[in-house]
Amino acid sequence: IAAHAQSPRFARLPIAVVGLINSRKMALSNTAFTAADLAGWQSTLLGDSAQAADLSRFADTLAAIECGPTAIVDCTSSDAIAALYPSWLTRGLHVVTPNKKAFSGDMSLFREIQKLSSSPLGPTVYHEATVGAGLPVLSTLNDLVRTGDRIVKIEGIFSGTLSYLFNNFSAPGATQKFSDCVAVAKENGYTEPDPRDDLNGMDVARKVTILGRVAGLDIGTDTLPVENIVPESLRDVSTAEEFMVRLPEFDEHFSQLNREALQAGSVLRYVGFVDGLNGQSSVKLARYPLDHPFASLKGSDNIIAFTTDRFPNPLIIQGAGAGAAVTAFGIFSDLIKIAERFGSGLADSKC
């Protein structure tokens, strides 16, 4: 917000924060919160003197604003809040969110949201940050679909955690054991508090589902084949600590998979695959030859390859696919798109 306010574009596309809510407190204002308010929002806006949270009243207040387009930014991962999107859209509120639940969960909710946000006059939903954080993944896919290109397949490394793990574990000359790679990733904050939440593949499955649905496929996490690489006997251990203690028992299993891949001139990568032609979408651990773009990936980057009729040699997007800064970039980019589409004349208004 602060950087945007200082840019030459701000005069044409003013963006203001007038409400903030978490699970306990909320703040609403008739005028924009200042940069100082937002910088210390935990104490200045949602401190002890703030109103008790009331999401219904919060949405009512925003829906009554008549000064240009108004959007609710949902930064939760809540199913319950995602279920409110249709009611917000019905009342003219735009929605911007990194929350995957509305787009990878119940198909009827997804279709209702699509229907309510389909008018060129608005309101609309933008959720670029649900796949690849700030990478232009969904905007690229939407452009391909809208221009009539046929999606042959979408293939990618969609998890920063699993990218980091296999980029370090499965590479020529790599010597680290799989359990050590997981331990380092956990220590550096790359994994969820319980690494099984990354290794079970469900986060990747949600992203594959979103991509498939945007591409026009009837796909869901309940029918998508997902390879869970958590050793079966460790899936039900009670704590993350116990899981980490016992994971070295399975180092030889992962080392054998890696040796077989390297002997074949390949490396292991955990990928999501959207099949636009034959309905064989999946999430799995796969081999890629050493000269493949997925094999040369570094760090925790994401990489997504679109193969279409117009792009038989895949259109590739690569970069940081997780982290607060790039996710915030994706969210704010969506807000700017709403301002550009629906905010004409705001600079000359008296709002």
Which residue in the list 101, 153, 186, 207 is annotated as catalytic?
207
**Cβ–Cβ under 8 Å, residues 230 and 202:** no
Amino acid making up residue 197: D
How far is 214 from 203, CA to CA, in rounded Å?
17
CB burial string 73-108: b at 16+ within 10 A, e below: bbeeeeeebbebbbebbeeebbbbbbbbbbbbbeee
Token code pair at residue 16: 């203001």
What are the DSSP calls for 276-330, one per residue?
A: TTTS--EEEEEEEETTSTTTT--TT-EEEEEEESS-SSPEEEEE---SHHHHHHH
Token code pair at residue 86: 């249709």
Token code pair at residue 190: 């790359």
On the 0-12 / 13-18 / 19+ scale of CB atoms within 10 A, 208 is: buried
C-alpha 257 chain-centroid distance: 29
On the 0-12 / 13-18 / 19+ scale of CB atoms within 10 A, 242 is: exposed
207 labelled catalytic: yes
Amino acid making up residue 31: T
**Cβ–Cβ under 8 Å, residues 152 and 307:** yes
Which residue is associated with the tokens 């094999």? 295
Known catalytic residues are 207
